[in-house]
Chains A and B, each alone.
Chain A
């Protein structure tokens, strides 16, 4: 049986790891390569790096630190941030990334998903969706959550799957940084709507939140940042906790 994935997320800006509280007030949480190696040794199943400066500053010098990370760690990792073209993806995969995540550029040009999936295979294309509930509707936002769009979470996720995305990474902006738990209802709905894996992001505060997102919302993976970065939850303890709750994990 495939195990549920625990995925620390490292937001990177200017080569440094940061974590935004509701996407603002950045706090420094360390060196990405060091953190990556630490998490790999602790039993993280996968890592996600989001270069949060990339979209805004159109900075694509990620290959350097991606290469440094790939040299250090022996688990799969995803890189996102400012990816808008086939050649961006080629450079990151060559540097050693296993998957890339696309967000704003896919909203702007949905055909990018088809193009990348055809070129590199669905298995390495993650569609990241940031959404917030406005008047009872999950509205997709771009540019690090700044700009609302006319896309809606469920139809956009479904379209992403049909266009060839291999995985959906859904961040609830309403839950991100709150530590009050993941957005269980929309996550469960995504699970039933899609056949590709769904990764939950935003809201992790306790080990119980992880158990809920796997057992109740049926997420395939759960992503979190600050609870790991600041040592509030240790990955080995979390995995034993999940195993005790009958959730299949890699120990």
Chain B
């Protein structure tokens, strides 16, 4: 199995790479469109700003590559947000895989932004085998995707939001599985071996 991790100016590529090493899978970190398109599975990581990242992806012609992938794809954090249609962050047109709008969290006394730390995720769809029970995952984000028809797990921070979404071959997580201890490893293993 050949895993391609999409290379761009994302902050967590190294962490994702280390997580894959720990899980003993072979992967390459690449921005080569052919290499990405021919991989068995693709991971689209992400820490950064939506607008600058989308601009970069368009310049590299990676936007069309990602949108048309047929194999299993996992979007992480900003990767998940960029899979949506539009983000309020920099009023950015995104990839449009999920026809949803990414919104900014509102700050109030109980809820600081970014939403950062371990929070409980509830699985609303039973396809993710080991996760019938709520589990904690590590989040760092200021923008969120509201709960929608693609949502398969949700979290709560001031309001409910999508922790995990699925559409066909696209799986997306708002949390960081690469930093979420054993529960995060379960999600990565699910994607690598069962999705």
Contacts and interface: CB of A to CB of B under 8 A. Distances in A.
A70 interface: yes
A2 B118 contact: yes
Interface in A187-218: 195-197
Interface in A154-198: 166, 195-197
A195 B22 contact: no
Interface string B1-30: 000000000010011001101100000000
Contacts of B179: 74-76, 98
B138 interface: yes
A196 B115 CA distance: 10
B18 A71 contact: yes
Contacts of B129: none
Contacts of B156: 1
A13 interface: no
A2 B114 contact: no
B140 interface: yes
Contacts of B18: 70-71, 96
Contacts of A195: 107, 109, 112
A120 to B, nearest CB: 8
A45 interface: yes
A250 interface: yes
A93 to B, nearest CB: 7
Contacts of A196: 112
Contacts of A250: 118, 136
A243 interface: no
A5 B117 contact: yes
A75 B138 contact: yes
Contact of B119 (A2, A123, A220): A2
A112 B157 CA distance: 31
A122 B141 CA distance: 11
Report whether over half of chain B's contact residues are helix, strand or loop; otherwise say mixed.
Answer: mixed
A11 B109 CA distance: 33
Contacts of A2: 115-119, 157
Interface stretch (B34-42, B54-62, B96-104, B180-188): B180-188
A63 B156 CA distance: 36
Contacts of A96: 14-15, 18
Most A CB contacts (10 A, CB to CB) among B11, B117, B138 go to B117
Contacts of A70: 14-15, 18
Interface string A83-97: 000000000011110
A3 B183 CA distance: 15
Given A2-B157, A195-B112, A94 B118 contact: no
Interface string B132-161: 000010101000000000000000110000
Contacts of B22: 71-72, 74
A40 interface: yes
B120 interface: yes
A74 B186 CA distance: 12
Contact of B114 (A71, A93, A123): A123
B138 A3 contact: no
B149 to A, nearest CB: 26
Contact of B117 (A40, A94, A95, A220): A220
Interface of B: 11, 14-15, 18-19, 21-22, 107, 109, 112, 114-120, 136, 138, 140, 156-157, 176, 178-182, 184-185
